[in-house]
Amino acid sequence: MTGLALDHLTKVFQDGTDEVVAVDDISLEIGDGEFLVVVGPSGCGKSTTLRMVAGLETVTRGEIRLGDRVINDEKPQNRDIAMVFQSYALYPHMSVRGNMSFGLEESTDMPDAEISERVEDVATMMGIGDLLDRKPTELSGGQQQRVALGRAIVRDPEVFLMDEPLSNLDAKLRSQMRTELQRLQEDLDVTTMYVTHDQTEAMTMGDRIAILDGGELQQIATPLECYHAPANRFVAGFIGEPSMNFLDMRVDGAALVSDEFTYPLGEAVRGSLGDATDVVLGVRPEAVAIRGETGGEHGYETVVDVVEPMGNENTVYLQFEGTAEPLVATTSGMRRITEGETVVAHIPEDAIHVFDAPTGHALHNRRIEDAERTDITLD
Amino acid sequence: MSDATASEPSAESEQESADPASRSRWWSVSASRVVLYGALLAIMGVFLVPIETGLVTSVKTNPTGVSETLPYLPPPPEYFTLEKWEQAFDRLARGMVNSALYSIPATVLSAFAGSLTAYGITQARWKERYKALLLALFVAGIFIPYQAVLVPLSRFWSTYAPLEDWLAVLWVIGIDNDYAGLVELSVTHIAYGIPICTVLFRSYYKNMSIEMVESARLDGASLRRVYRRIILPLSTPMFAVVLIYQFTQIWNDLLFALILVSSESSEAAPVTLILAGLGQSLEGADFPLRMAGAFIAALPTLAVYVMFGEEFAEGVAS
């Protein structure tokens, strides 16, 4: 087993005379046995990055290292990497057994008996032992997915690459496979790079997540760090559902001011802003508390616009007077809030994030310890 | 209220079916059907009449049967004979063997070469610009008419590639040296067939899952192994299309045979060459013999179609 390192990896596509930078100077390291999820909106370069690691795209600049070995110019078949594709890419004319043995037959000179034994072991582990003689077209989507995974596992590669492997499954099966895949990766302890656009998959599966946008690496950190201490406004908005509220503000003395309200800041937060003038105030919906009457310095009168009951919680869209931009808050599902009601939205200072408006960089983040403390007090 | 809305349409439709106006509509639908089926039958007739005429002519005696019986209808017993079929078979048997000798290898090799080339310009990875250029050349190749290459072709085989000299060892062991013409025909048809085969296979391979091929590459298979184990087994339907098409083209070709073998009296004369002169004499054409000969010469192409029919349908549909 070995780790995988990308060093200043860049991919430029030539589109006629135009150059399109798909992957822009990405450096990251995936430790031995680590599960890294690469996440971002479509077109952010995550799949291109994965395909470069697989050897399916050439590298424009930079280096890909597997252990100590630079594999930039290695052919895909010599990289000892297994990839699971979104479409599963099973060989339609071969049985499940044929699909799973293909890799071992092509890449090793293992005797047939041993191949057959390994295929059967993995098939049993994946719960497809009784499907070995079927053709892919005779299998359900979930079963095909298992065959695709099994085909990668049986090769016992240095690295697993997965390109949105769960996105063709229905919602229920997807969450089931998510758990299974996570358990499997833990058992096998193989370095894994997993690409998805789904932030739930990113948050739940990864040891760490790498967030990409516009071909650039925005942040690479543990899921909790990305959630509580986003490096910039993009990460803050991308991770979390419903996404973080952003309010454009000006720094005015020791307070943030907008047309609708003034948000006084404590000394610590004010200090971290430096000499920034235009900032964005960020607050997660679950940090906004809804109260009946004004209280404390960070409570603001708002009108309830829409309430979306989700069962366990309600998503409430609040409006400051005279603006269209809603402030989203989540409350307990049992709480009765009616549309049109005037309520007080309390935005606690220990839960706010402040981003520099021109660059989007985080100037101040909520501290994880603070997040922990509020959780405990809520219990 | 919901009851009322639900019952409304059904009441309406009952009324409609009792209404004389809707009955006339039933008639008009039926009339259009009659016209449609009539037209279809007429078209079928147009296609079948030549075959039917040929068949009935082939079993008439010559010349009395042809001149004294009604055309399009089977002959009365006194004018009926199968003799022409026997004659035609005797005359054509040598040609059938000769045609098979070059048609079968030419068909198989041009299909295989087309498949390989198409694989190279679709799934193999090199500059798209060069692929497009190569494809343009192949497409252009399809449109070169046979007539345009006749002179260069005969010059090529007589001056630049004198096969007859190169294969001299064969003539020594007793094979007629006209058979050099069959090798020339075979090679010429392979060369002429590669462009159309390539273009047909290309559109088929273009639609194949790229991820599947990439997956095979990652599984450790080389480009050659991917072709052998993934692409080739999946190409069966397209091979059926190409084999049927190519075989019919090559088997039925007369022009190249005329140029490269030239004489129907030659030991190596292909079936089309013999057929062209069959039943022609100073006394006039022996139509029954010509018809019987045409049917016999067409049998192999029919057989190929029947053999690959199922895959052909699948390949055309994809």
Any residues with CB less than 8 A from the CB of A95 and at least 6 apart, and which?
A132, A133, A134, A135
Q: Please give the residue of chain B at the shortest CA–CA distance from A161.
A: B218
Determine the average pLDDT of the residues in A264-272.
Answer: 87
Residue keyed to tokens 């192949």: B138
- A328-355 pLDDT per residue, tens: 999 888 888 888 888 888 888 888 999 9
Read off the tokens for B161.
């590639």
Q: What residues in A contact B221, CB-CB < 8 Å?
A: 77, 102, 106
From CA A245, how far away is CA A55, in angstroms rounded? Answer: 40
Q: Please tell me the predicted confidence (pLDDT) of residue B24.
A: 60
3-state secondary structure of A195: strand
Contacts of A281 (CB under 8 A, 6+ apart): A246, A247, A248, A249, A256, A263, A352, A353, A354
Determine the pLDDT at residue A37: 95
> What is the average pLDDT across A142-157?
92
DSSP helix, strand, coil percent of chain A (3-state; round to 5): 30, 35, 35
Residues of B in contact with A47 (CB under 8 A): none
Length of chain B: 318
Q: What is the pLDDT of residue A329?
A: 92
A90: pLDDT strictly greater than 80: yes
Q: Which of residues 199-238 of B touch A (CB under 8 A)?
A: 209, 211-212, 214-222, 225, 229-230, 233-234
| Mean pLDDT estimate for chain A | 89
CA separation for the pair B106, B192 (Å, rounded)? 10
ipTM: 0.81
pLDDT for residue B81 is more than 60:
yes
Residues whose CB is less than 8 angstroms from the CB of residue A360 and which lie 6 or more positions away in sequence, other chains included: A232, A233, A234, A280
pLDDT exceeds cutoff 90 at B112:
yes
CB pair distance less than 8 Å for A87 and B211: yes
> Does residue B232 contact residue A95 with C-beta atoms inside 8 Å?
no
B-chain CB neighbours of A90 within 8 Å are 212
* DSSP letter, residue A69: E
| Pairs of residues, one from chain A and one from chain B, whose beta carbons lie less than 8 Å apart | 61
Do the chains contact at A54 and B234, CB–CB below 8 Å? no
Pick from A76, A91, A106: which is nearest to B212 by CB? A91
Tell me if A256 sits within 8 A of A269, measured CB to CB: no
Write out the H or E segment, with its range, that includes residue A36: strand A35-39
pLDDT at B43 > cutoff 80: yes
pTM (2 d.p.): 0.79
Tokens for A19? 């150059």
Please provide the distance, in angstroms rounded to a whole number, between the alpha carbons at the two ends of chain B: 51
Tell me which chain B residues have a C-beta less than 8 angstroms from the C-beta of A85. Answer: 211, 214-215
Question: What is the greatest pairwise CA distance in chain B?
Answer: 101
Interface residue B127 vs chain A (CB under 8 A): no
Whether residue A102 and residue B216 make contact (CB cut-off 8 A), yes or no, is yes
Residues of chain B positioned with their CB less than 8 A from the CB of A75: 217
> Can you say how many angstroms the Cα of residue B225 is from the centroid of all Cα atoms in its chain?
31
Q: What is the DSSP code (8-state) at residue B74?
A: P
